[in-house]
Amino acid sequence: MKTFDYTDTERIYAADLHNSNFKPNNRIKRLIDRRDWLAKNHKKDIYCDNAEFLIYHWSGKAETFAAATGEQAASEDERINIGDHTARVDVGGPFPYAAQMPSKVNGYEPTVTNWADDYAFFLRHSEAEVHPYEQIVGEFHWQLDEARYYKYPKSHADLGLVARELGAGGFSLAHCCPDLSIGLKLGWGGLLEKIRKNRNKHATYGNEKSVTYLDASEQVVLSVIDFVQRHGEKAAKLAETEMDPVKKESYELVAKNCANISYEPPKTYHEALQWIMLYMIVERVNGHGNGYGRFDQLLIPFYKADKAAGRIDRERARELLGEWYLKYGPHLSYGGRNEDGSDATNEMSWIGLEAYDLVGGYNQFGVQWHKDMDPDFFKYSCDVVGRHGCGVPALVNSDVLVASQLRTGFDEKHAMNTSYSGCQWYCIPGREYQDQDVNCIVLISPMQRAIDMAIEQGIEGWDGFWNLYCEEVDKSGEALVNFKNEAYKYHAQLWPEMITSLVSYGPIEKGRDITDFDSVDYNYPSVNVLGVPNVVDSMYALKKAVFEDRKFSLKQVRDACECDWTGEGEEIIRQVLLNLPKFGNDEDGVDAMAIQISEQVREVMEAKRSIKGGHFRTSLFQYQGHTVAGPYLGATPDGRKRKEPLAHGMNPMHGRNRAGMTATANSFCKLDFAKYQGGSFQIELHPSYFAEDADRGELVDQFAQTFFEKGGVQINLNVFDLEDLKDAYDHPEKDEYDDIVVKVTGYSAHFTKMDRQFQKEFITRVNYKSL
């Protein structure tokens, strides 16, 4: 089936979300079915070039994720499917007007003007998609990098290869969080006027650079206004001839809403949701997305006004937000605190969760717990994640997020407004651009260099070895900083983020893109660290078996690693190293090593500055490199074989957490997460963990609250039977598993649609049971 078929109503209406507390109406059922159909038919996949991209977050080919089509597309046999983690809807083939792009016709230049000309052309040639039964519209099929040249100068790539050699890499694109309240208040017309006003201001002072930027920005906004208008016009036209009353009514609603918001700001809840949806579309065509902030705070004024005027009730609000999720449920947040510290939970927070409860499946939002949160709301959040079992919502400790922002140097008033915005990261909406989740240091690499050097230099003691390790970590960090700084020199001109800039604090006022120097308030680049638990386990094993007990020499261990433990007697060495205490079992000795290793890399990065001014922030997380890195890095002294994956984020290495999830939780919480930029705890629960009549919400609530009180920062909780996933992996032809959605690392995806390598890693995880 090439396109989705709306006519099989018997099948669609029969579909029931058995886990839901709310019953979707037939219109929503059709839209749920279309969402699932798109995912199952690989219409929502996102790709990267190759394994190196996942490991180092830079492939050396594409500058970010791989373009799906066009000249810069990755080769089909090399690219890796990260899962249905995108808003893009694949309709096959390249962007039809790629050859007519202004930069192709008139010449390419890495400037904001050249970029904006392309963007405006691209959007004006993007079709307004209005599908039957939809009351919120917006969809895109191509990204700008499928049509516009996207490459940094060679000097950048050269530094990238140096960094790669030392185990580091990264890109810069999106991964921040605009403040949508700016746009909801001004509308596209208000934003246009703001641009013009600021342009004139800068013109008065002869600030040409800002004038150029704002002129470019004006082109972009005009194309957006046209894009929104065309949705309204198309819907109006469809309404004219439509006979089916539900479809007709839907088209009419879309026509009215889009006409209302093409220039003016949204006035109703429904218009606000439509505004955000189209905002998201025009932003994400730029290549990737952002988090979208505190949704309950953004929507509550609209909901309240509608309710007071009798225009809406809770059920309708739930239905519309559920529909909004079905298009693409991005990272955003509910809960948290108000600026004065009080609980920010409101009726919209409830509707946000209920809307997910209505439509289920794939989604990315998080709930920000804090000590003073409405306990019923948090319990409901836990109930939803336990009942649906798809890792939605992510449970996040708001107080730790705020503490970490404050520690970094943020204003308290701003920090209180922090919003969970991506897999493991969080932002102050509209005020930061920090490369969240896109830079990486592979910590295995400096460790391996230190081992080689220690052998060469005949180092006998642990302290000497540790000093070498510290020096090598510093070299990796330095290489990353040099590489990133080279990117920052070009970023704002080469690939600006004008849509995001519109709804942030500073870019329009200053006439500088959000990616530019001195634009938004906070620029502390984030860096993911891959393989921390493996380095912890390895270093602990070396310390014990080599430097203290002298069971083996460092050379013996290194040589055994090099031949993947295949030499004579090396399996015994491996077993001895493997069976020493490992991180994640609440054992103080090795857990202390976890603190030492994490603190060391954090201190190294904190001591370094980007040319934008801020220090680097360490994140104890890396989203997918662990699945493919094994063969590239070789065996490690923790007893890991070459082909095995690395540990996922800060989670204990697969199969090594043997003392149960509370022990792992205790190990986690020995780290001070306020010092890091995230470090999620991933839990895969077997359904039998809960007794048939158990109150899942109650149990998850109890665990999560305790975890957070101990200082944990984030829980991603899946409920599934690993045996099912193993069977799904072994039998890709079986379609009975197509509905299984899992929280992969910090994002959700359909299990059977992920790359097989990812699936394989997933099924080696510990599935906590209770028998």
Partner 1 sequence: MSKQGHTFSVKRMQTHDGPGLRTTVFMKGCSLRCAWCHNPESLSGKAELWRNEPRCIGCGICALDDGSLTDHDNWNGDPAVIENCPAKALEPLRKDWSVEALLADLERDAAFFTKNGGITVSGGEPAMQWPFVAELLKGCREREWHTALDTCGAAPAEALDVLLPLCDLVLFDLKIMNSSNHRKWTGQGNEQILDNFCKTMAYATEHPELKIWIRTPLIPGATDGTENIEAIGHFLSNHWTDQIERWDLCAFNNLAVEKYQKMNMEWEFAETPLMERKHGEELLQTAIGALGPEKYDRVYLKGRMI
**What residue ranges bind partner 1 (CB under 8 A)?**
571-572, 575-576, 578-579, 586, 659-663, 665-666, 688-694, 698-699, 702-703, 705-706, 709-710, 768, 770-771
- Of 450 and 669, nearer to partner 1 (C-beta) is 669
- Of 553 and 702, nearer to partner 1 (C-beta) is 702
Q: How many CB atoms lie within 10 A of CB 27?
A: 18
- Helices 347-359 and 26-40: crossing angle in degrees, nearest 10, is 70
Assign 439 to helix, strand or coil: strand
What CA–CA distances, in Å, run from 396 to 425, 430, 598? 10, 20, 21
Q: What H or E segment, with its residue span, contains residue 102?
A: helix 102-105
Beta carbon of residue 656, minimum distance to partner 1 (angstroms, whole number):
12
- Helices 180-204 and 269-284: crossing angle in degrees, nearest 10, is 60
Cβ distance 53 to 725 under 8 Å?
no
- Of 26 and 579, nearer to partner 1 (C-beta) is 579
Assign 718 to helix, strand or coil: strand
- Of 457 and 566, nearer to partner 1 (C-beta) is 566
The torsion angles phi and psi of 97, rounded to 5 degrees, stand at -105, 20
Beta carbon of residue 648, minimum distance to partner 1 (angstroms, whole number):
20
- Of 611 and 691, nearer to partner 1 (C-beta) is 691
- Of 547 and 565, nearer to partner 1 (C-beta) is 565
Helices (H), 495-531: 498-502, 507-510
Beta carbon of residue 191, minimum distance to partner 1 (angstroms, whole number):
48
Beta carbon of residue 578, minimum distance to partner 1 (angstroms, whole number):
8
- Of 571 and 738, nearer to partner 1 (C-beta) is 571
Beta carbon of residue 145, minimum distance to partner 1 (angstroms, whole number):
46
- Of 146 and 638, nearer to partner 1 (C-beta) is 638
Q: Quick check: bond before 265 cis, omega within 30?
A: no
Beta carbon of residue 545, minimum distance to partner 1 (angstroms, whole number):
11
Burial class (CB in 10 A: 0-12, 13-18, 19+), 28: buried
* Non-local CB neighbours of 254 within 8 Å, separated by 6+ positions: 130, 134, 135, 136, 137, 231, 232, 235, 274
Beta carbon of residue 214, minimum distance to partner 1 (angstroms, whole number):
54
Beta carbon of residue 560, minimum distance to partner 1 (angstroms, whole number):
13
Q: For residue 368, list its beta bridge partners.
A: 335, 396
Q: Backbone dihedral region of 57: left (phi > 0), alpha (psi from -120 to 50 degrees) or beta?
A: left
Beta carbon of residue 576, minimum distance to partner 1 (angstroms, whole number):
5
Question: DSSP assignment of 339-389, as one string?
Answer: TTSSB---HHHHHHHHHHHHH-SS---EEEE-TTS-HHHHHHHHHHHHHH-
Beta carbon of residue 559, minimum distance to partner 1 (angstroms, whole number):
18
* Non-local CB neighbours of 661 within 8 Å, separated by 6+ positions: 683, 703, 768
d(CA 707, CA 538): 27
Cβ distance 504 to 181 under 8 Å?
no
- Of 491 and 574, nearer to partner 1 (C-beta) is 574
Query: Token pair for residue 627?
Result: 């699945």
Beta carbon of residue 660, minimum distance to partner 1 (angstroms, whole number):
4
Beta carbon of residue 372, minimum distance to partner 1 (angstroms, whole number):
17
- Of 148 and 387, nearer to partner 1 (C-beta) is 387
d(CA 441, CA 472): 12
- Of 120 and 719, nearer to partner 1 (C-beta) is 719
Give the chain's count of helices (H) and strands (E). Answer: 30, 15
Cβ distance 36 to 361 under 8 Å?
yes
Burial class (CB in 10 A: 0-12, 13-18, 19+), 534: buried
Query: Token pair for residue 269?
Result: 């809840």
Sequence letter at residue 734 = K
Beta carbon of residue 662, minimum distance to partner 1 (angstroms, whole number):
5
Largest CA distance in the chain: 84
Place of tokens 């690395």: 646
Beta carbon of residue 693, minimum distance to partner 1 (angstroms, whole number):
6
- Of 457 and 770, nearer to partner 1 (C-beta) is 770
- Of 604 and 665, nearer to partner 1 (C-beta) is 665
- Of 99 and 694, nearer to partner 1 (C-beta) is 694
Place of tokens 């954090």: 602
Beta carbon of residue 460, minimum distance to partner 1 (angstroms, whole number):
24
- Of 76 and 693, nearer to partner 1 (C-beta) is 693
**Which long-range contacts link 272-276 to residues 24+ away (Cβ below 8 Å)?**
272/184, 272/298, 272/299, 272/302, 273/136, 273/299, 273/320, 273/321, 273/324, 274/136, 274/137, 274/138, 275/183, 275/184, 275/187, 276/180, 276/184, 276/324
- Of 334 and 703, nearer to partner 1 (C-beta) is 703
Assign 658 to helix, strand or coil: coil
Cβ distance 258 to 272 under 8 Å?
no
Beta carbon of residue 572, minimum distance to partner 1 (angstroms, whole number):
5
Q: Which of 718, 705, 727 is nearest to 745 (CA)?
A: 718
Beta carbon of residue 666, minimum distance to partner 1 (angstroms, whole number):
6
- Of 572 and 607, nearer to partner 1 (C-beta) is 572
Beta carbon of residue 702, minimum distance to partner 1 (angstroms, whole number):
5
The two beta strands, 168-170 and 439-442, are antiparallel
